[in-house]
Amino acid sequence: MKKRLLVLEDGTVFTGTAFGSDRASQGEVVFTTGMTGYQETISDPSFYGQIVTLTYPMVGNYGINRDDFESITPAIRGFVVRELAKTPSNFRCDLTLDDYLTSKDIPGIEGIDTRKLTRIIRSKGSVKAILTAADEEVNVSEVIAQLQTTPAITHHVREVSPKAAYPSPGRGKRVVLIDYGMKHGILRELNKRDCDVLVVPYNTSAEEILAWHPDGIMLSNGPGNPEDVQEGIETVRNLIGKVPMFGICLGHQIFSLASGAKAFKLPFGHRGGNHPVKDLRTGRTDLTSQNHGYAIDIESLQDTDLELTHIALNDGTCEGVRHKKYPIFTVQYHPEASPGPEDSNHLFDEFIEMMEVEAGKGKQHA
């Protein structure tokens, strides 16, 4: 078995066993707390540029199947686990996790102390790291110096957003879905409700979107810093008040920034399928699926037309807002789950209902 190193920019070095691709890879190392759903995690575009660590100890025991992908091409830079299951057992299994990562040219490392790594990230924040071979040709001091001088990745969204628009037809409400790095679970939920969806790139103008005469607009999830997506912010600013909108994760952040709020980077982010969120309107608490490294500053909402609707019970950060004047609401978490609990799936029904109400108003005025 080949040995592999995971080298952090603070000088910490983990030695483990290689799996997946043989290539070296650099990225921001983060952790996610989900007990299942590693296939969805690997294929989630919001992990673009990141080396993903799973806190659950054994990974790969049900293999990879054809049904649980959230995108066609994985965007992660590496995969870190405590123990890799070599012989998966599940009736849906098509291939092993090792074989899948090899086919997608993504390196992995197993056999390291993932609890120690997680504690480092929790105390120091997300850090840059390199997965590289453990051989005499690798100079660890040079690797650390490279990490410390290499700038962080920016403009993640343009790497994962589609280059051209495409339809996902239905006979229900007409929805334009702005794809900042969409999980396919969002599209599945809209299709399940028979929406006639047009998926468009992140830099599509408001004029182009409105020319399709949508009943509603969906703002998808995606990776990175929302402030990097200036084209998206400008588009959403020009759409506010024109048509109902529903935003998820990065879409929530972009809408909030377009409305005058501010964002900040979390120390180590929220990633996993077990994050409790309280709905301030009903008092209900949902367990939610999350994957984000930035959050909206609650104090910055005071001078906007947005009201806070949801908070994270773990750290009190903003998890949802609603526009005070127009039919627009957004959440920081993932109501489509994939992976994770489906407690908040009802938000898609609220979006459909909101579009129907607005359509009814239009008929009254006609």
Q: Is 172 annotated as a binding residue?
A: no
pLDDT at 86: 94
For residue range 241-269, list pLDDT tens digits in order. Answer: 999 999 999 999 999 999 999 999 999 99
Q: Is 293 annotated as a binding residue?
A: yes
| DSSP state string for 96-148 | -HHHHHHHTT-EEEESS-HHHHHHHHHHH-SEEEEEEE-STT--HHHHHHHHH
Q: Is 250 annotated as a binding residue?
A: yes
**Average pLDDT of the chain to the nearest whole number:** 96
Domains and CATH numbers, the chain: 1-147 (3.50.30.20), 155-363 (3.40.50.880)
| Residue 127 pLDDT > 80 | yes
Q: How far is Cα 270 from Cα 335, in angstroms, rounded to an integer? A: 15
* Residue 292, beta-bridge partner list: 270
Q: Is 294 annotated as a binding residue?
A: yes
For residue range 2-14, list pLDDT tens digits in order. Answer: 999 999 999 999 9
Range with the poorest average pLDDT among 133-147, 202-216, 219-233, 339-353: 133-147
| Residue 115 pLDDT > 70 | yes
For residue range 198-238, list pLDDT tens digits in order. Answer: 999 999 999 999 999 999 999 999 999 999 999 999 999 99
* Residue 334, beta-bridge partner list: 289
| DSSP state string for 289-358 | EEEEEEEE-GGGGGGSSEEEEEEETTT--EEEEEESSSSEEEESSBTT-SSS--TTTHHHHHHHHHHHHH
| Residue 140 pLDDT > 70 | yes
Contact (Cβ atoms closer than 8 angstroms) between residue 18 and residue 2: yes
For residue range 157-198, list pLDDT tens digits in order. Answer: 999 999 999 999 999 999 999 999 999 999 999 999 999 999
Q: How far apart are the first and last CA of the chain?
A: 72
> pTM for the whole thing?
0.96
Tell me: cis bond preceding 339? Omega within 30 of 0 counts: yes
| Residue 131 pLDDT > 70 | yes
Q: Taking Cα atoms as reference points, which of 251, 183, 178, 191 lies closest to residue 37?
A: 183
Query: Where does the pLDDT of residue 143 fall: very low under 50, low under 70, confident under 90, or very high at 90 and above?
Result: very high
Structure tokens that stand for 306 in this block: 């947005």
Q: Taking Cα atoms as reference points, which of 244, 167, 173 lies closest to residue 198?
A: 167
pLDDT at 260: 98
Q: Is 360 annotated as a binding residue?
A: no
Strand duo 245-248 + 78-81: pairing? unpaired
pLDDT at 205: 98
- Residue found by looking up tokens 């599509």 in the block: 204
| Residue 138 pLDDT > 90 | no
Q: Taking Cα atoms as reference points, which of 222, 225, 224, 229 lies closest to residue 203?
A: 229
Q: How far is Cα 178 from Cα 201, in angstroms, rounded to an integer? A: 6
Q: Is 300 annotated as a binding residue?
A: no
Q: How far is Cα 97 from Cα 94, in angstroms, rounded to an integer? A: 10
Q: How far is Cα 179 from Cα 204, in angstroms, rounded to an integer? A: 10
What is the pLDDT averaged over residues 19-37? 96
| Residue 153 pLDDT > 60 | yes
Instruction: Give the catalytic positions in this structure.
Output: 249, 334, 336
| Residue 366 pLDDT > 70 | no
| Residue 363 pLDDT > 70 | no
